[in-house]
Amino acid sequence: MLVEWLEGLLPSDQRRLMYTHWLMNQKTMKGLKLSPILEDDDFVLEGSDSALELLGRLERSLFDVGSVLDDAELKQFSDKKVKKWLVDLQDALYKADDLLDELATKAATATQRDPGNSSPWSHYVDSCIEDSAINVIEKTVATLESVVKRKGYLRLLPKESAKMDISSWRIPSTSLVVSTDIFGRDQDKENIIKLLLDDTCDVGSPVTVIPIVGMGGIGKTTLAQLVYSDVKVVGKFDTRAWVCVAENPDPINVTKTIIGAIDSCPGNMDKFDSLRNNLKETDNFDSLQTNLKEKLTGKTFLVVLDDVWHDRRDMWEDFLKPFRFGDNGSKILLTTRNENVASVFTASNLHYRLSLLLIEDCWSMFLKHSSISTNSKQYATLEQIGRKIVEKCKGLPLAVKTLGGLLRNKLNKGDWENILESEMWELSEDDSKITPALRVSYHYLPSYLKRCFVYCSLYPEDYEFDKDELILLWIAEDLLQPKENNTLEKIGCAYFDELVARSFFQPSSASGKLFVMHDLMHDLAKFFAGKFYFNLKEFGNRHMIDSNIRHLSYTTTYEDNFKLFQEDFNGTTHMRTFLNFPLFRFQASITMESEFWLLGQQLECLRVLSFKYIFLKSLPDSVGELIYLRYLNLSFTLIETLSE
């Protein structure tokens, strides 16, 4: 997540704008101003002891590393050295960001002290840095340079040379399906078939679009395959076509695929053979659309657009024009993870939302893929373990299928217990298709959504969170990308709604105003968050805490011992986030001694601090020394006043 994480360094402060030259190459970062340092006419990069010279070296390192990040993102899953390199790089960048934040704060303070001084901003930077701090800056820059140099040893390719191998992420779907592999979808199948056989049309069009919407791995493609090959459906339509659109929605290629599928239908082979050969060589969209229109005019057709990601209305409106010439009763069935896509294709509310599987259907699927006979001697023992494994899958077919496959023909009780006791994302990436399958959902998120989604790994599992509160946290952590004529609150709202539409968040069934993450989506967020994010469930487990941690959340209980808490974080000096999520309201008490430690030099890099629902009576004056702090939540505490 380095590309989007680096972009996340940018949005608000002057020191972030230093990265603009490199980030302007990223499609999502258009319109940012140049760094005040770089715009300064008096800016020079001379002298080994110059702070500005060190900042120039820092910028050059970002130039060097930016071009290979995409390649590193893909290779980290097969090369542990690359993954380690990304961790080291992110750690170095966190430290560089802290450094630049400190410089910006000192420069801003100097400006406030002497508002009439018109000296360039870079002079403030140079004058505010004491000689003793130069060594710290030199060490920070040297560390980053050392990490960047390793990219050559790892053979990481520049962005323009690193071709994304889509096939490594997923195999294109086809219309073929083995019905004996399907569990728990009989009613869904009948519901979709009923919609397909209905001759009622959308208003103003002879074609009805039926979107199947659901999170990745829930079985949308499988359901579409079932209905596509059903005898009643086959007999209903004059012609059918299946297209796996996936993440590359090229209208020309999709149109070619549909034409090819129609031409291969019985009775069409000879008639369109020569024309089809000619069309293989053309990329003229008008010719392709005209040809498709001729094939569909006056016919009832069924076209399946599987795995549609993009929601560009202008592109899809042009693509759909030939379909309007079909006969009444024609259907387009599409599968998508994004409700926004469904809304682009149809103005109706006819969105078929696919639900998770029932537990018994999951168990039947698990038995199928694990190939365990109910007549075997080990069945009774393995069933007890297996059902617990299935429960952890929370009704997601992809998880059930993958875990069943991991245990295929394994009769050893220990093998099953190992799976049961392991965290979902600690399973081998080579053996498990859970991580790649859900990873693709994350991989193709826009970078601005990736960093916001990963931040939610701080929530405890099944935690019900408030939309407005999360947006404030995103703002405080500089995770939102500013846009002209839009407030950060509005931008955050748009990000949140998009994550809901893409099934990364879902409304809580218990409260219509709150939201939750499916357990596997929560695991996905934790997987990409890595060692820099951590949710602490109990104190006194020092071995669990990585010294590189930057973002921490903890679940407080009545028994929490804050002395153990302090011991847990000795040596953790760069933490940016400190959030609490109480199991019960008003449950833990923090002493003044704990407050002084927490707000002292140990956590001087804090951006976010929350004591919500804690028996806290006062804050020490040292809270004013947290120069990076942007979010302080003291709601539902016992604090009545704050010191100056």
Look at residue 151 and tell me whether its pLDDT is greater than 80.
yes
The count of structural domains within the chain is 4
Position 171 in a domain:
no
Give the end of a domain, one of 318, 353, 388: 353
Long-range contacts of 192-197 (CB under 8 A, 24+ apart): 192/223, 192/224, 192/227, 192/333, 192/352, 193/227, 193/230, 193/232, 193/233, 195/331, 195/350, 195/352, 196/227, 196/233, 196/236, 196/302, 196/331, 196/333, 197/232, 197/233, 197/236
Q: Higher model confidence: residue 288 or residue 559?
A: 288
Position 339 in a domain:
yes
Write out pLDDT tens, residues 25-51.
332 222 222 233 333 444 333 333 466
Look at residue 308 and tell me whether its pLDDT is greater than 80.
yes
**Predicted confidence band at 15 (pLDDT cuts at 50, 70, 90)?**
very low
**Are residues 193 and 282 located together in one domain of the fold?**
yes
Spatial separation of the C-alpha atoms in residues 252 and 240, rounded to whole Å: 18
Mean pLDDT for the stretch of residues 607-630: 82
Residue carrying the six token digits 């373990």: 385
Which residues partner with 632 through β-bridges?
Answer: 609
Beta pairing, strands 533-536 & 577-580: unpaired
The domain spanning residue 293 has which CATH number?
3.40.50.300
Rounded to a whole number of angstroms, the CA Rg of the chain reads: 28
Residue 524, classed as helix, strand or coil, is helix
Position 638 in a domain:
no
Ordered DSSP codes for 155-198: TPPPTTT----GGGT-PPP-S---GGG--S-HHHHHHHHHHHH-
Beta pairing, strands 551-554 & 588-589: unpaired
Q: What is the pLDDT of residue 278?
A: 53
**Are residues 323 and 375 located together in one domain of the fold?**
no
Q: What percent of the chain has pLDDT over 90?
A: 23
**Are residues 300 and 431 located together in one domain of the fold?**
no
In terms of average pLDDT, the best of 188-192, 372-376, 549-553, 602-606 is 188-192
Look at residue 472 and tell me whether its pLDDT is greater than 80.
yes
**Are residues 186 and 305 located together in one domain of the fold?**
yes
Task: Supply φ then ψ for residue 372, to 5 degrees.
Answer: -95, 125
Average per-residue pLDDT for the chain: 76
Sign of the CA dihedral 444, 446, 450, 456? negative
Position 154 in a domain:
yes
Domain that holds residue 420: 359-438
Helices (H), 514-591: 519-529, 562-568
Write out pLDDT tens, residues 404-461.
887 888 888 988 987 787 644 444 445 444 455 467 667 767 788 989 999 999 998 8
Cβ contacts of residue 433 below 8 Å, gap of 6+?
398, 401, 402, 405
**Are residues 159 and 183 located together in one domain of the fold?**
no
Mean pLDDT for the stretch of residues 204-231: 89
Position 302 in a domain:
yes
Question: Cβ–Cβ contacts within 10 Å for residue 390, how many?
Answer: 24
Give the end of a domain, one of 301, 328, 353: 353
Mean pLDDT for the stretch of residues 487-510: 87
Which residues partner with 207 through β-bridges?
Answer: 330
How distant, in Å, are the alpha carbons of 445, 506, 533, 547, 578 from that of 30?
18, 31, 29, 35, 32
Mean pLDDT for the stretch of residues 486-507: 89
**Are residues 69 and 89 located together in one domain of the fold?**
yes
Task: Give the CA-trace dihedral at 156, 158, 159, 162, to 10 degrees.
Answer: -50
**Are residues 220 and 307 located together in one domain of the fold?**
yes
**Are residues 155 and 125 located together in one domain of the fold?**
yes
How distant, in Å, are the alpha carbons of 160, 178, 439, 642 from that of 156?
12, 41, 21, 52
**Predicted confidence band at 260 (pLDDT cuts at 50, 70, 90)?**
confident
Task: Supply 331's token pair.
Answer: 């259907």
Write out pLDDT tens, residues 621-638.
777 778 888 999 988 888
Q: What is the pLDDT of residue 46?
A: 38
Look at residue 259 and tell me whether its pLDDT is greater than 60.
yes
Position 642 in a domain:
no
In this structure, are residues 350 and 210 in contact, taking their beta carbons and an 8 Å threshold?
A: yes
Write out pLDDT tens, residues 310-321.
888 888 888 889
**Are residues 467 and 424 located together in one domain of the fold?**
no
**Are residues 240 and 365 located together in one domain of the fold?**
no
Position 173 in a domain:
no
Q: What is the pLDDT of residue 194?
A: 94
**Predicted confidence band at 363 (pLDDT cuts at 50, 70, 90)?**
very high
Q: What is the pLDDT of residue 85?
A: 92
Look at residue 323 and tell me whether its pLDDT is greater than 70.
yes
Look at residue 227 and tell me whether its pLDDT is greater than 60.
yes
Position 326 in a domain:
yes
Task: Give the CA-trace dihedral at 96, 97, 101, 107, to 10 degrees.
Answer: 50
Nearest to 345 by CA among 303, 380, 386, 387: 303
Nearest to 294 by CA among 346, 255, 349: 255
**Are residues 195 and 158 located together in one domain of the fold?**
no
Q: Which amino acid is at 506?
A: Q
Spatial separation of the C-alpha atoms in residues 632 and 577, rounded to whole Å: 11
**Are residues 344 and 370 located together in one domain of the fold?**
no
Give the end of a domain, one of 139, 163, 187: 163
pTM: 0.68
